[in-house]
Amino acid sequence: MAPDLIFSLGLGGWLWLREEVDSRLVARSLKREQILHDLLTAEVCTRLTEAAHRRGVGWQTTWIGDEAARYFEPTARSDGKTGAQLLSPDGLAVVRRTDESGISALPLFVEMDRGREAHGRPSSDWGRKVRRYDQFRAGAWQMHPQLADLPTFPPVLVITHGAQRLLNLAQAIVDHRQEPVSYYLTTWQELMVAPDILAARAWLMLAKNGQVLGQEPAERLALLPG
């Protein structure tokens, strides 16, 4: 299919994104940073889908957005209401390959780090996020309707900004993590120059066994081997 115009942004839209609108309306609007966060997450989804499609017949990516990817603690409340929200990733991607040997799947939680908050404290946003992934991994994670048919717990992709932020965030995750959850970290800049997001050697990996792989840029890993 030939590329075509998908959408355009007029003068009014630009004014809204820059928050140059009536102050009485700003409070009822989504903030620019939230819109940017969601657009960047959508771009990752698009690139994962393109990377699978480029590999030909038998490859596909299923994208589960943030609402469907959330998980709530099971509850036995008589009123039937859901329990507390345990997990809220920015998205969940499942890359599948079908061939003569069957179906293999690469599930990936996606987290877009756009914040500037220090993340060394357990009470930080990232401290809480890592603990929730630990709790989810330690519990009956296959009860999640999107993960029920998967043999392994998905690693977590973290896309952040800046080389130093990436290293600091990696150290914070290592300090907070208690369960064998794998994390892959990269920067937005590195990811966007790669023609294939699955083959790009752009990821620092925090392995289940505690190893830190690809700490130097020249040693970074790809999501798919080969």
pLDDT digits (tens, 9 = 90+) for 116-126: 666 556 557 88
Range(s) of the domain holding residue 94: 31-219
In a domain, 16, yes or no: no
In a domain, 54, yes or no: yes
In a domain, 11, yes or no: no
Higher-confidence position of 32 and 171: 171
pLDDT digits (tens, 9 = 90+) for 4-22: 545 555 555 656 566 555 5
Mean pLDDT in the chain? 82
Structure tokens that stand for 15 in this block: 């004014």
Among 54, 87, 225, smallest CA distance to 156 is for 87
28-36: long-range contacts, CB 8 A cutoff, minimum separation 24: 33/114, 36/114
What pLDDT shows up at residue 1? Answer: 44
What pLDDT shows up at residue 121? Answer: 60
What pLDDT shows up at residue 139? Answer: 87
Res 95 pLDDT > 90: yes
Res 90 pLDDT > 60: yes
What distance lies between CA 201 and its chain's CA centroid? 17
In a domain, 69, yes or no: yes
In a domain, 118, yes or no: yes
In a domain, 41, yes or no: yes
pLDDT class of 192 with cuts at 50, 70, 90: confident
**Top-confidence range, 66-70, 75-79, 168-172, 183-187:** 183-187
**Are the C-beta atoms of 153 and 106 separated by less than 8 Å?**
no
Tally the domains of the chain: 1
In a domain, 226, yes or no: no
In a domain, 37, yes or no: yes
pLDDT digits (tens, 9 = 90+) for 30-86: 577 777 888 888 889 999 999 999 998 899 999 998 888 888 877 655 555 666 778
